[in-house]
Structure 1
Amino acid sequence: MNIQISRGELLSALQSVIGVVERRQSLPILGNLLLEAKDDRLSLTGTDLELQVERMVRVQNLAPGRITAPARKLHDICRGLPEGAMLSLEYADNKLTLKSGRSRFALATLPAEEFPVFSTDPTDVQLELSNRELKDLLARTQFAMAQQDVRYYLNGLLLEIRPGRLRTVATDGHRLAMAELNRELSAKKDTQVILPRKTVIELQRLLDVSDAPVKLSLTSNQIQVDLEDLRLTSKLIEGRFPDYERVIPEDSDKIIKCGRLKVRAALSRAAILSNEKFRGVRLTLEADTLRIQTQNPEQEEAEEEVEIEYNGAPLEIGFNVSYLLDALDAIEGEEFIFKLRSPDASGLIHDAAQASGKFVVMPMRL
């Protein structure tokens, strides 16, 4: 293999795939990237055996070939070179030599044949949407995923496909986030799959806010996401996601309309003096007034009052303030609706202008 490429193009490609490479590896080969030069293209592939990312970049190809090289060393060397530099990568005598100007680096390699590449199964479902649409669906729900929960199916995000609708749902058992895209999609088959947490985070990082197309291909145990010059392939989480529609409150009789930024700012200030472990906040509802109160073991207290639209019966209820802030951050509109029923019933938050995103928060005793 012998190629020439600009420092900027190689660094961009390396940054696309480096996120999948774990710093601590059970197998040495997993710390490497697979580099394959063919025609006028170089493909770079990284994997952790559960997730694989492949990026294509144009190069001047003097001699085709394939080899694996240390991912982070290659990335750090490239990042440290001056902007606008031209690089050459040449493999010979079990070394990958990178040259740029007067700089020269010889990296140890491992055979390409040892690199574990995902097999591709027949596709069951395909659909296409834009970068912007998929990124928005993930952003509005990914924060509610569980972390290292024994209920492994909660450590991911549900992707649900129905005729004319695509939903993402995440829950950690204490809160739930749901986002929805309502339009006709190319997929004709009802499908539910659970994406692993790391896959969701990597997708969120790789997607942009453009209208460029993204193609999703689903098999019985994998999802493949194709962007313009990048392909992400991931195993799916096996298991059955909870019946999330059952936990979305439908009979709330106390409905509040609030300014999102105003309430968010008041919650943020009050949270400074909340209990650092439990993060509890007490909300007291009265006519057109929301009172927010927190206290901590040091006997410190905070109280905020916010003007709202509310004419129901008085109510006092406790929540985890971090959960409320996360839900408000996922709403784009200037006003939101907060639906409540009683001190021991879940609250429902959604944008006042449209309810394509819903956020359910369990109450807590204070």
Structure 2
Amino acid sequence: MKLIFKQSAIHEAILNACNVVPQKSVMPIIKNIKLEAKNKEVRIYATDSEIELTIVINENIEVVEEGVVLIDGNKFKSILQEIGEGDYELTEEGNSLILNGLGCEFSINTVNSDEFPIFESFEDEPDFEMPGITLKGMFEKTVFATRDEPSRFQMNGVLLSGKEDQINIVATDTTRLALVNKKIDKPINIDEIDCILSTKFVHTLIKSIKDIPVQIKTEINRIKVKSDNVTISSKLVSGIFPNYKKAIPECDIEIKINRNEFLSALRKATIFTSEITKSIKFSFQNNILLLHSSMPESGEAHISLEIAYEDEPIEMNFNPNYVQEGLKVMTTDDVVINLKNKKRPAVFKGNEDYTYLVMPVLSRE
């Protein structure tokens, strides 16, 4: 193998590949990444035995000699980070891959690539297609609401469901829930989609997918996503996702509030909260939202915002970090808070396609 390339041509791709590579594995071979130079392009392969990532590079890179090598991706990543922008040469010599350019030379040991897993191809008709930037945005607005709990795998994942021309993405840790619904141009090619995706797969997709159309194919225990230069596939998470529709209450109270002012008020009130008792009291009364937080050993905060609310006073406690995380991914100037009563979740809405639900922190009475 021999390549001439610009650092910027492969740096991001190697970063994304290394995010897939496991730090520890019973299969040492997959702690490496595979480079394949063929037909005027370079393919980068990375896997952790559950996720498979393939990235194709055909710009700002010249394949002088074809070949296949397996190398320590993290070492290669570190080299690319340090050498900076410029033109470089990568040459396979015996059991080493030599990088030359701009007054530096590195030799990376190679590994026999014969035992590296063979990735599944994406040749079947996709279940549906949509803009990559749209799919990426849907995941960004939901994945943060998952729970890192090994005993409940489904809480570690994101639900992808769809029927006809509607796609839903949902995440929950049972104390909050994020839901995005989008209409796609062409109806889904199968009766229904209902699968749970791992958070690592979702984060890999967010980092790898660009603003170009993507194709999605689901199978019994696997999902594949493909664009012009990136293919990602992953095992699905086993288990049954909670019935999220039952968790969303029919609310009687609707309160509009400026999103940036609300975020600012929450940040101020959060100053007097602790990791143990991280909650803020929300008091809705007389056209005022009063946020109150206190720490007996430090002090307290009272922050008020003007709102349009003249009904019976309502007091509820919420984890301020949970509320802020939902508000940050919204893009509208105003948000609407929907309430049922002090024991039911609050529903925050920005755009019509996004719903964010937060359970109150119930105080002991």
The TM-score normalised by the length of structure 2 is: 0.93
Question: 1:235-288, CA deviations, whole angstroms, 9 ceiling, x for partnerless residues?
Answer: 1112221111010011x2222111111111101110011122231010111121
Aligned length, in residue pairs: 360
| Cα shift readout 1:298-319 (whole Å, capped 9, x = no counterpart) | 1521111100111221111111
Q: Determine the structure 2 residue equivalent to 1:296.
A: 295
The 5-angstrom pairing of residues 1-366 of structure 1 reads: 1-58=1-58, 59-87=61-89, 89-120=90-121, 123=124, 126-189=127-190, 190-208=192-210, 210=211, 212-250=212-250, 252-351=251-350, 354-366=351-363
Write the letter of the residue equivalent to 1:360: L
Runs of 5+ consecutive residues of structure 1 not aligned to the other structure: none
CA contact (8 A) 2:165 2:188 kept: no
Helix, strand or coil: the match of 1:67?
A: strand
CA distance in 2, matches of 1:275, 1:82: 43
Look up the equivalent residue of 1:358 and give its one-letter code: T
Task: Check the 8 A contact 1:286/1:313 in 2, yes or no.
Answer: yes
Residue 111 of structure 2: SS of its match in structure 1? Answer: coil
Q: Residue 129 of structure 1: SS of its match in structure 2?
A: strand
Q: Which moved more, 1:134-143 or 1:102-111?
A: 102-111
> Which residue type is aligned with residue 330 of structure 1?
V
Provide the secondary structure at the position in 1 that maps to 2:24.
Answer: coil
Question: Aligned partners of 2:136, 2:52: CA distance in 1, in Å?
Answer: 19
Q: Work out whether residues 130 and 185 of structure 2, in 8 Å CA contact, stay in contact via their aligned partners in 1.
A: no
What is the CA–CA distance in structure 1 between the aligned matches of 2:76 and 2:298, rounded to whole Å?
Answer: 53
Classify 1:246/1:122 alpha carbon distance in 2 versus 1 (closer, same or farther; 3 Å). farther
Shift of 1:10: 2.6
Contact 2:176 2:357 in 1 (8 A): yes
SS in 1 for 2:326: helix
The 1:70/1:357 distance shift into structure 2, 3 A limit, reads same
Per the alignment, in what secondary structure is the counterpart of residue 118 of structure 1?
A: coil
**Aligned mates of 2:84, 2:57 — CA distance in 1:** 20
- What is the CA distance between 1:186 and its match in structure 2? 4.1
SS of 1:355 mapped into structure 2 = coil
**Which segment drifts farther, 158-167 or 294-303?**
294-303
Task: Give the % identical residues.
Answer: 26
Distance 1:175 1:82 in 2: 43
**In structure 2, do the counterparts of structure 1 residues 82 and 169 end up closer, same or farther at CA, with 3 Å as the change threshold?**
closer
* Aligned-CA RMSD value: 1.9
* 8 Å CA contact 1:159, 1:166 repeated in 2: yes
Distance change >3 Å, CA 119–CA 68, structure 1 → 2: same
Per mean C-alpha deviation after superposition, the further-off stretch among 29-38 and 291-300 is: 291-300
Could you list the per-position Cα deviations for residues 29-79 of structure 1 after superposition, in whole angstroms to 9, with x for gaps in the alignment? 222111111121111111111112111112432322212011011111122
